[in-house]
A and B are shown apart, each in its own frame.
Chain A
Amino acid sequence: MSTKKNWPLWEVFVRSKNGLEHRHFGSLHAADAEMALENARDVYTRRNEGVSIWVVESKDITASNPENNGELFEPAQDKVYRHPTFYDLPDEVKHM
């Protein structure tokens, strides 16, 4: 018997309307994926908040660690040449 095993945690992603991406809404507990979807419907979309739901078991998500934010994200900070404003244009050029 599996009496003392608790329902795992699921992360819920909802697309609020077609054309928009699924966005993280929160999490919930459920025995399996099907129940997670049904629970997500009741917990996160009681007022037409969504047209599509994804659920994924929280343990299956690999997340970056804020401690590594320096090495991960700082290199992008000094690469100003990746932005259009880095380039000088003559005033005569209107649309570019």
Chain B
Amino acid sequence: MSEEQIKNLEAQFEARIARDEKIEPKDWMPEKYRKTHIRQMSQHAHSEIVGMLPEGNWITRAPSLRRKVALLAKVQDEAGHGLYLYSATETLGISRDELYEQLHTGKAKYSSIFNYPTVTWADMGAIGWLVDGAAIINQVPLCSTSYGPYARAMIRVCKEESFHQRQGFEIMIKLAEGTSEQKEMAQDALNRWWWPSLMMLGPTDSESVHTEQSMKWKLKRKSNDDLRQQFIDQTVPQAELIGLTIPDPDLKWNEERQSYDFGEINWDEFWQVVKGHGPCNKERMKARVGAWERGEWVRDAAMAYAEKQQTRKEKRAI
């Protein structure tokens, strides 16, 4: 194809998206669209998969059967969400093995929030309430993104996600209503998860390199800072309701903006964690790669069995 032909196709492509048409796997698409989607969708899938690790840590120690079934179901959902997203990413012409390889070698990123440790039971509450809360704010606009398989996967994810946030908030309510130690535990979890949750919504707009293109392709409908403001405005009253304090001395209602003003985010910490120097980056990758390697013989055995059955069936047919 000549350069002019490509330019022409690109213009038609952009116009289709502007008209709110969806792009499907076999449609022509610019290489950059394909690459950007592989990057964002796989990063999203990896986050779901690695996101199971901090919570998996507490399944065996959940304080009641009610909490245990809920946490198990939630972690199972994360696995499901990872699988929806991986298979949606594969429609762009990359294999599952390549995607895993990128995660395991550190070439692909996942959400920085999962590199923080889960040290008490209250962290299960804080994660559901704050981390899933922030994730929902990020994900809802993606239900109408331009790439069909991604949008369809996100619709399913969003439907399932709201139980995650509620079960987390319920854990926080109960702890906040409990003994002074329990309330302290809830407050401590909020103190530790608040700022990472704000960071999770991405670098501030002036530092965000992909925003303009992503807006065009509807990979983003609102800027990171707008999403962050939305998250803060919706979460602060929830904390007040259960008698917990947001750990930000500069947090103040701004009557004029009808929004909360908030303190400075420690972006150095964010970039440190993104670059691999968070408290648990190494531990998470070790657990993930270890699980993959220890499962290899199972995958191979299942494949060998399937092939044996197939051969037998073919022999019988002769």
Contacts and interface: CB of A to CB of B under 8 A. Distances in A.
Given A27-B87, A43-B83, A47-B160, A66 B300 contact: no
Contacts of A5: 303, 307
A26 B153 contact: yes
B26 interface: yes
Main secondary structure of the interface of A (DSSP, over half): loop
Contacts of A29: 96
A6 B76 contact: no
Nearest to B73: A46
A3 B83 CA distance: 23
Contacts of A31: 299, 302-303, 305-306
Contacts of B141: none
Contact of A2 (B24, B153, B304): B304
A65 to B, nearest CB: 6
A21 interface: no
Interface size class for chain B? 20 to 34
A32 B309 contact: yes
Given A2-B300, A66-B26, A27 B307 contact: no
A28 B83 contact: yes
Contact of B303 (A2, A42, A43): A2
B203 interface: no
Contacts of A43: 80, 83-84
A56 interface: no
Contacts of B76: 42, 46
Nearest to A63: B26
A31 to B, nearest CB: 4
B88 interface: yes
A26 B87 contact: yes
A6 B303 CA distance: 8
Contacts of A63: 26
Contacts of A66: 24, 26-28
A61 B76 CA distance: 30
Contacts of B95: 6
A35 interface: yes
B250 interface: no
Contacts of A3: 300
Contact of B80 (A1, A27, A42): A42
A29 B88 CA distance: 12
A36 B313 CA distance: 18
Contacts of B27: 66
Given A46-B76, A66-B28, A28 B87 contact: yes
Given A26-B88, A29-B96, A43-B83, A7 B24 contact: no
Interface in B110-162: 152-153, 156, 160
A27 B305 contact: no
A95 B307 CA distance: 60
Contacts of B97: 6
Interface string A1-20: 11101110100000000000
Given A6-B303, A35-B302, A46-B77, 15 more contacts: A2-B307, A6-B96, A6-B97, A7-B302, A26-B153, A31-B303, A32-B302, A32-B306, A32-B309, A35-B306, A43-B80, A43-B83, A46-B76, A46-B160, A66-B27
For the complex of A and B, 3 pairs with smallest distance between CB atoms: A32-B306, A31-B302, A31-B306
